[in-house]
């Protein structure tokens, strides 16, 4: 019984932390700034796609992503904060947005067959990030891609329990067979560490071997 209570408290604490993080982040990084962080990703040139925004908060980056994707695309936006999800519109610029109330670290997700995954200030909640990448891959197409926005720091705190600096992220995804391209970096008013955005795709060698399989 005590173990169950501990898990419940941990879950509640994580929920509260994400809500606070989302609220603070939205007050400082508006949609225009979010769009600028992702603008050079080139995802809009690839036709309609299916994406997921994991840990989407109230949709600041969800809408930025929708503004970059081709018409007819779909975004699955997932978060623990039901009130934040209610502020996300069902569509934006001819891109359909479906919200999902839940913890993205728990499987199965209510969606699959993804072309890409966006994680803006949410990967630092994942303790075993290498294993999580493999979990993501099981729900994605072969020509998959990621967009990640994170704090460039290795110092953990209550808001960033498992930090992933730009160097650490590049190494993490590189070992998993991906190439990482830095899109943008900017100061964070809320934290000392700057924010960075990267586009991640399968490296040409790994993509070719998968296509032949």
Give tens-digit pLDDT for 196-208. Answer: 999 999 986 554 4
The pLDDT, as a whole number, for residue 209 is: 53
Q: Please, what is the average pLDDT of the chain? A: 85
Is 178's pLDDT higher than 60? Answer: yes
Chain centroid to CA 64: how far?
Answer: 12
pTM score, whole prediction: 0.84
Instruction: Confirm if 105 and 135 have CB atoms less than 8 A apart.
Output: no
Per-residue model confidence as pLDDT tens digits over 151-175: 999 999 988 999 999 999 999 999 9
List of residues 6+ apart from 205 with CB closer than 8 A: 177
Q: Which option is the CATH number for 2-212: 3.40.30.10, 3.20.10.10, 3.40.50.1220, 3.40.50.150?
A: 3.40.50.150
> Taking the domains of the chain in order of start, what are their residue ranges?
2-212
Per-residue model confidence as pLDDT tens digits over 110-124: 999 999 999 999 999
Per-residue model confidence as pLDDT tens digits over 182-197: 999 988 766 668 999 9
Instruction: Read off the pLDDT band of 30 (50, 70, 90).
Output: confident
**Rounded Cα distance, 40 and 185, in Å:** 12
């Amino acid at each position: 019984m005590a173990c169950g209570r501990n898990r419940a408290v941990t879950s509640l604490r994580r929920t509260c932390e994400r809500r606070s993080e989302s609220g603070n982040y939205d007050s400082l990084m508006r949609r225009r700034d979010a769009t600028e962080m992702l603008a050079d990703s080139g995802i809009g040139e690839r036709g309609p796609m299916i994406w997921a925004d994991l840990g989407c908060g109230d949709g600041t980056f969800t809408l930025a992503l929708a503004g970059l994707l081709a018409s007819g695309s779909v975004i699955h936006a997932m978060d623990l904060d039901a009130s934040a999800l209610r502020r996300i519109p069902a569509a934006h610029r001819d891109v359909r947005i479906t919200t999902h109330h839940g913890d993205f670290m728990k499987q199965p997700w209510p969606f699959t067959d993804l072309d890409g995954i966006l994680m803006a200030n949410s990967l630092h909640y994942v303790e075993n990030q290498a294993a999580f990448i493999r979990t993501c891959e099981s729900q994605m197409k072969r020509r998959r891609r990621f967009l990640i926005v994170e704090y460039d720091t290795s110092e953990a705190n209550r808001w960033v329990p498992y930090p992933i600096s730009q160097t650490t992220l590049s190494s993490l995804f590189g070992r998993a067979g991906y190439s990482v391209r830095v899109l943008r970096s900017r100061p964070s008013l809320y934290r000392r560490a700057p924010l960075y955005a990267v586009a991640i795709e399968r490296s040409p060698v790994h993509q070719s071997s998968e296509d032949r399989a």
